[in-house]
Structure 1
């Protein structure tokens, strides 16, 4: 079952037309959430990111789009798919209503919510081999739009195809200044000597929800220093550890980049603290 503007429909229903602005112009935003036994993880952060993104995109936010309203719509969708007592990946899609070309006839919006089952309730560390490479065919242009979860994800799609064709598990994206921004599906953290580093938003990286959670944990981590700074490609092979973060996987350690192999010590430490934080929240 899918939730379209508050009404539940069978997943096979034809709800979107070819004139949908998200399809026609990428005039849409989305949030990917993890819901565990009816609890939306980090919901406040997701909600405020979505509202801020809608304002940046000049979308009209409906009066009823409160935290409580959208959370209830998420849980209604979860229940309709018999996932209330399981873990689920939920995606909220928001698009401007049909009409117009580049210039819309209205800034009003519609939304839909879809869900799928996840295997694990809490985050676990994947210690299997995980190899990455730089994707250098196209570059991220730093700016406010690059921090949004919009439907304009061509570079992520092309990078994913490149990774698949070349047997990499993931790729790291570069910005127009040729510094490392993020992975295809999450933010990047680099550990070197007791410093844990991640690119600032000004470099063009996604304003990740898990990024925010990890930064808060690192700031309280005894013996380590958090640094928001640009990462050059040359730093990657000098790092002790690299890992990728997103709300579905949690923390994904990178085990190899070119000839360099990495440890997972900090990843394990932070993952344990992350799960503890979730249990106590």
Structure 2
């Protein structure tokens, strides 16, 4: 069951051929992790959604409060019997039908989906995880690249490239040829006690876990955080690489080309992230 504008429905009953998210990618979304009915980092997700809608010139309904959307998400969790277990929630907001590139209205609709997850905690996978650069297309270093829109053509093609080349993920470059992020998460590079991550000005996603980890690292004695552009040449010199997103938390990268990486710092950080998540 999904939630379309407050009404529970089957997935097959929802979209028409005139849906603007389908036709033009005219939508934004948030992917959230729910644990026993509690949305992790819900407030920063909500604030990012509001910022994304403003950037896309969408009209924000008066009832789109943090509490209202939380209640609407809870309806979906209850309907799918996911209120007492970990779940992935996707909240999509799309502009209402009408128009071509220029819409007839800036009013919006919303759709909420939920599926089960296996673990309520962020755990650090010990499995091999190999990546390489995806160089066919580039991320634009601008504000639009930092929000989660439905236009994910680059990420779809990059995911197919990774599958065809037996990779677990790809790292994306921006139009300045700097490394920006992974296909589905922000990137962190560890050299000794220094941890680097690209700044938002490079076009990376304004990730929720990215922001939380930045705060954690800045408070951790012995570690230094630098928001700075990352050149591809730095990857093979790193001690560790790891990616982050709301669902997996922290995912160590074990191999990039011929270079293999450890995960000591990632192991140190995942416990701190879980502690913050329990309080969010």
Pairwise CA distance, 1:134: 0.1
Aligned pairs for 1:1-281 (under 5 A) are 1-12=1-12, 14-281=13-280
Question: TM-score if structure 2 supplies the norm length?
Answer: 0.99
Pairwise CA distance, 1:154: 0.7
Alpha-carbon spacing, 1:58–1:280, altered in 2? closer, same or farther (3 Å): closer
Task: Write the deviation string for residues 8-28 of structure 1: whole angstroms up to 9, x where unpaired.
Answer: 11233x211011000111110
How many residues of Structure 1 are paired with residues of Structure 2 in the alignment? 280
Structure 2 SS opposite 1:151 = coil
Q: Distance in 2 between matches of 1:190 and 1:65?
A: 37
Pairwise CA distance, 1:278: 2.2
RMSD, aligned α-carbons: 0.7
Alignment gaps of 5+ in structure 1: none
Structure 2 SS opposite 1:162 = helix
Pairwise CA distance, 1:126: 0.6
Task: Write the deviation string for residues 95-135 of structure 1: whole angstroms up to 9, x where unpaired.
Answer: 00000001100000000000000000001111111000000
Q: Distance in 2 between matches of 1:71 and 1:82?
A: 16
Structure 2 SS opposite 1:252 = strand
Structure 1 SS opposite 2:11 = coil
Alignment gaps of 5+ in structure 2: none
Question: TM-score if structure 1 supplies the norm length?
Answer: 0.98
Pairwise CA distance, 1:277: 1.9
Task: Write the deviation string for residues 153-208 of structure 1: whole angstroms up to 9, x where unpaired.
Answer: 11100100000000000000000100000000000000001101000000000000
Pairwise CA distance, 1:276: 1.7
Q: Distance in 2 between matches of 1:59 and 1:165?
A: 37
Structure 2 SS opposite 1:8 = strand
